[in-house]
Amino acid sequence: MEYLIPLITLWAAQLLAAISPGQSFVLISRLALSNPRPVAMSAVLGLGVGTIIWSSAAIAGLAIVLEHAAWAYTAFKIAGGVYLLFLAVMLWRHSRDPVELDPARQKRMGPWPAFMMGLATQLANPKVIVFFGSIFVALLPASSPAWVYVVAVIIVFGNEVGWYAVVAMLFSVQKSRNAYIRAKTWIDRAMAGFLGLIGARLIVDA
């Protein structure tokens, strides 16, 4: 139970961050619109591999920081809460922004190029490691054993691949794509509210 609640909170916070529209969302939705579904799924797998790389790098850096500067744990916990609040505010502010998709401009491609595009998209986004670095410190106990971090990496990989697999399937079907676009504002605001609550709780606890 000591580690279960932090891991569940990590799962919820990172899933909400993954769901918030960004460059990965645009990539997968556009590929799903203009290519066969396996192509979009290959890009999803690329995003997942990029997530493993960034999250593992964040954990390695976290171990070094906590070993040499224990006081940094509280500072990073506050920083993680502030970052989640920032994400919540930005998500709320842009909730009315339209989903810009133009499949006519998208070139058809094979599974391997799509995989590499997904991997490159994730690795080229420095905000990902900032998020993982702050969220791991903020949510996981400082004395967590190695298996907790392994589970954390599995969680963020599963969230990334699971959500964008859903996006790939939804955007390959006209009705579900239109339904998401109509409900985007309220979906974004609901996610912003949850992220804001988690961020505020982290700051208060710290």
**CA–CA separation, 42 and 29 (whole Å):** 13
- Band (pLDDT 50/70/90 cuts) for residue 27 is confident
- Which of 162, 178, 158 lies closest to 170 in space, CA to CA? 178
Q: What is the pLDDT of residues 143-202, one digit of tens each?
A: 788 899 999 999 999 999 999 999 999 888 877 777 777 887 887 788 788 778 877 877
Question: CA-based angle 67:129:172, to the nearest 5?
Answer: 145
Give 64-125 as a DSSP string: HHHHH-TTHHHHHHHHHHHHHHHHHHHHHHTTTS-----GGGPPP--HHHHHHHHHHHHHT-
Mean pLDDT rounded to a whole number for the chain: 81
pTM for the whole thing? 0.72
